[in-house]
């Protein structure tokens, strides 16, 4: 059953996410040279320029990542990941007005990112790889995104049941480490160990995740219409973002901020009329 209770706001640095009032937009800043979408930047100045562009286009938070998550990608060491992301976070923290999220499943990288100025942790493994991320989130008082990753799942029974169970386990771990309930955001993990048909089912049944009582982040950007080059997937991404919002998404993680801001605002105008959205 979908949760009907209003969600308490989540404080992230100097920003307050007031869930239910509108859809929030997380802009993607890839610093890995082998990003699936081909948008990785390889120097600090290019990263600053890209981040500032996303700020001007209407992003609410910038998610910085230094390790590719595409299928078949090779893990990078803690030192290499830190080398890619920490100097950029240090610069961004003083250059842009938005909070910065660090996309990592390694607590060593996360700690360095927090020390550099990051205000949110985004764990694509939902604490399965490194539960110490929850301890950091609790100590630093920052929000924690927990994603359900099925890349270690050999066989599925009921897909949605599997994802809900995975997210429940991650939630319990986070709370056991002292992460405040209002600081937890959930992500069903579009594309992570799921087939194309399964990804579509997750979006279609997204409202079922509301029963977990936490805001839902959805990351579909450039993951659909895989028979097309990544620079030709904009319209497909727009469709998934609009439907995800209709199904209950609270935040979307996107590459094309300017276009997806328009999609979100129109979707909000339709779906959130009772919350005062024009």
Strand 144-147's sheet: what is its strand order? 184-187, 144-147, 120-123, 100-103, 61-65, 24-30, 251-254, 217-218
Q: Which of 106, 119, 222, 223 is catalytic?
A: 223
Gap between the Cα atoms of 223 and 52, Å rounded: 24
Q: Which of 84, 214, 247, 253 is catalytic?
A: 253
Q: Is 253 a catalytic residue?
A: yes
Q: Is 168 a catalytic residue?
A: no
Gap between the Cα atoms of 138 and 98, Å rounded: 21
Gap between the Cα atoms of 174 and 194, Å rounded: 24
**What DSSP letter does each residue of 232-267 carry, written as one string?**
G-HHHHHHHHHHHHHTT-SEEEES-HHHHHHHHHHH
In total, the chain counts a number of residues equal to 278
Residue with token string 């209002």: 182
Tokens of 257: 């901020």
β-partners of residue 249 are: none
**What DSSP letter does each residue of 72-110 carry, written as one string?**
TPPP--HHHHHHHHHHHHHHHHHH-SS-EEEE-S-HHHH
- Contact in structure between 199 and 190 (CB atoms under 8 Å): yes
Gap between the Cα atoms of 10 and 258, Å rounded: 24
**What DSSP letter does each residue of 187-248 carry, written as one string?**
E--TTSS--HHHHHHHHHTGGGGGGG-S-BEE--TT-S-TTS-GGG-HHHHHHHHHHHHHTT
Catalytic residues: 223, 253
């Amino acid at each position: 059953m979908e949760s009907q209770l209003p969600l308490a706001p989540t404080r992230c640095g100097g920003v307050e996410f007031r869930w239910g009032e509108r859809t929030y937009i997380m802009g993607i800043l890839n610093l890995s040279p082998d990003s699936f979408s081909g948008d990785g930047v390889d120097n600090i100045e290019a990263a600053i320029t890209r981040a500032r562009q996303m700020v001007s286009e209407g992003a609410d938070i910038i998610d910085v990542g230094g390790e590719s998550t595409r299928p078949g990608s090779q893990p990078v060491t803690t030192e290499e990941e830190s080398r890619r992301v920490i100097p950029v976070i240090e610069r961004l923290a003083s250059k842009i007005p938005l909070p910065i999220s660090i996309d990592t499943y390694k607590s060593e990288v996360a700690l360095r990112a927090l020390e550099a100025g990051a205000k949110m942790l985004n764990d694509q493994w939902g604490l399965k790889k490194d539960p110490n991320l929850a301890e950091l989130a609790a100590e630093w008082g920052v929000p924690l995104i927990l994603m359900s990753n099925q890349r270690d799942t050999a066989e599925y029974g009921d897909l949605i049941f599997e994802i809900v169970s995975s997210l429940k386990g991650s939630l319990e771990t986070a709370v056991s480490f002292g992460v405040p309930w209002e600081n937890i955001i959930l992500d069903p993990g579009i594309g992570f160990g799921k087939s194309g048909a399964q990804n579509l089912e997750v979006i279609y049944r997204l409202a079922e995740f509301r029963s977990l009582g936490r805001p839902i982040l959805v990351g579909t950007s450039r993951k659909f219409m895989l028979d097309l080059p990544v620079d030709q997937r904009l319209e497909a991404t727009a469709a998934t973002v609009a439907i995800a919002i209709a199904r209950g998404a609270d935040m979307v993680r996107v590459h094309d901020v300017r276009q997806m801001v328009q999609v979100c605002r129109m979707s909000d105008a339709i779906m959130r009329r009772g919350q005062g959205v024009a």
